[in-house]
A and B are shown apart, each in its own frame.
Chain A
Amino acid sequence: NAGVTQTPKFQVLKTGQSMTLQCAQDMNHEYMSWYRQDPGMGLRLIHYSVGAGITDQGEVPNGYNVSRSTTEDFPLRLLSAAPSQTSVYFCATKLRLAIADYEQYFGPGTRLTVT
């Protein structure tokens, strides 16, 4: 099992460019989510999904889009990159959101710089 994979590991974008961060999991987890991590702040939830075809906004959704057409994949799209989106992005999955005891598994992260 590969677990949770993210691509790319690093990316530099110019302001206004768009791109998609990929997240894939092979654990058949229902729940997938995207966080961003900024210095001095905790992980902040951008968007999440509780199953294929179902997505919802987290704490900081502006400037990002998501879709979930399959159980395995949950791409995060930056529509028009801004310097404020410079961050490290983590994808995280959980077998089922509604079960309190289940752990959340994180991908290795994508470091994005917007110039």
Chain B
Amino acid sequence: ILNVEQSPQSLHVQEGDSTNFTCSFPSSNFYALHWYRWETAKSPEALFVMTLNGDEKKKGRISATLNTKEGYSYLYIKGSQPEDSATYLCAFNFKRLGSARQLTFGSGTQLTVLP
């Protein structure tokens, strides 16, 4: 069983604060790491897909880093806004010989940005 752990489970920040969350995953058989943003009553939307150790990706005020050797990824939000309130999911893609490479999801970090 592959465990993808996300911390914290939930987070409340004030508008304008910067924040970050962690995704931990097994460091062996790494293939890819996905981050999704999931707003209430909507479906998850892909933010980043990262495949290489040391990858850094950025989309506006949101960025992510990847360390495949130690098995973690950080998601950063700079200057949080109320519209950033959502659950942020990470998902781990692993290599498995002779079989498809499925995504295993963490349970998410629920971010609330207070105005």
Binary B-proximity of A86-104 (CB < 8 A = 1, otherwise 0) = 0000100000011011111
- Is A50 an interface residue when CB atoms closer than 8 A count as contact? yes
A41 at the interface (CB under 8 A from B): yes
Q: What size tier do the contact residues of chain B reach?
A: 20 to 34
The one of B43, B44, B89, B102 that contacts A45, using a Cβ cutoff of 8 Å: B102
**Are A90 and B43 in contact (CB-based, < 8 A)?**
yes
Q: How far is the CB of B42 from chain A (nearest CB, A)?
A: 7
Q: Does A75 interact with chain B (Cβ within 8 Å)? A: no
B34 contact from A4, A35, A42, A104, Cβ within 8 A: A104
Q: CA–CA, A4 to B105, complex, Å?
A: 20
Q: A100-B32, A106-B45 are in contact. List 9 more A-B contacts (CB 8 A).
A: A31-B100, A42-B105, A43-B89, A48-B100, A56-B100, A90-B43, A97-B100, A100-B93, A103-B49
Q: Please report A residues at the B interface, Cβ cutoff 8 Å.
A: 4, 31, 35, 40-45, 48, 50, 56, 58, 90, 97-98, 100-109
26 contacts between A and B (CB under 8 A): A35-B105, A42-B89, A42-B106, A42-B107, A42-B108, A43-B44, A44-B105, A45-B103, A48-B100, A48-B102, A58-B102, A90-B43, A97-B100, A98-B100, A100-B32, A101-B32, A101-B49, A101-B51, A102-B49, A103-B46, A104-B91, A106-B43, A106-B44, A108-B42, A108-B43, A109-B43
